[in-house]
Amino acid sequence: MLRIENLSKRYGDYLVFQGLTHTFTPGCVALCEEDSTGKSSLLNIIAGVITPDSGDVWIDGHSMLHAPTQAKARLAYVPDNCLLFPEMTGRGLLEEVAADKNVALDQATLELAYDLGLEPHLDKRFEQMSTGTRRKVFVTAAALGDPAVVIADGPSNGFDARGRAVLAELFMAWGKDRVVLFASHDPELVRACKASTVDVAALR
């Protein structure tokens, strides 16, 4: 479902990583090493947000390099920065993602939002929300369109205990038939969703 092939990235003279190649099968995988190891760069490349210096990413058989529209259609992404659209409401983001995926904003998705405690916040603008609330909206949006791969950078940052528990159950459910790849410094989340752990440097 997810394969990275010979990925390399540098910023100026700083080499972030080189020659990363790995195939991910369904399940939860956590990148848990310390900062400055390339976790966010790798996730951004897989999500198609930044371009690698070399290599390619395959999402459910689609090349991010040669067929980015088809690849991104099979992908969901929870970014580190969830204040990308300050004036948009949470409901507005969900409606926009649903339209992009050509699916309805259905009751099951709204129930997930409510389970995460979002019911009183969906009609607020992102600039009015806390960090955790913004992230919960993006996690809810990731449920739309039945993606084959879910990428998340710090998915539980700012979550309360209830939200963390819902997130762990959600990741475990998704991991049964899709790849859930996330970066986290939250060992409780990693344990709760029974994620395997891997270092970026080991993806060779």
Specify the pLDDT at position 36: 60
Q: Which range marks the domain in which residue 164 is found?
A: 2-202
Give kind and range of the element (H or E) at residue 100. Answer: helix 90-101
Three-class SS string for 26-51?
Answer: CEEEEECCCCCCCHHHHHHHHCCCCC
**Strand ordering across the sheet containing 62-63:** 14-24, 2-11, 54-59, 62-63
Given a cut of 80, whether residue 35 has pLDDT beyond it is no
Distance CA 99, CA 96 (A): 5
**CATH number of residue 19's parent domain:** 3.40.50.300
Statement: residue 33 has pLDDT above 80: no
pLDDT > 70? residue 153: yes
What pLDDT is recorded for position 76? 97
Determine the Cα–Cα distance for residues 43 and 128; give it in Å rounded to an integer.
27
| Residue recorded with tokens 């990413």 | 57
Task: Give residue-wise pLDDT tens across range 64-84.
Answer: 999 999 999 999 999 999 998
Among 20-24, 54-58, 133-137, 196-200, the least confident range: 196-200
Q: What is the pLDDT of residues 84-130, one digit of tens each?
A: 899 999 999 999 999 999 999 999 999 999 999 999 999 999 999 99
pTM for this structure? Answer: 0.94
**Signed CA dihedral, 100, 106, 112, 114: sign only:** positive
How many structural domains are present in the chain?
1
What pLDDT was estimated at residue 78? 97
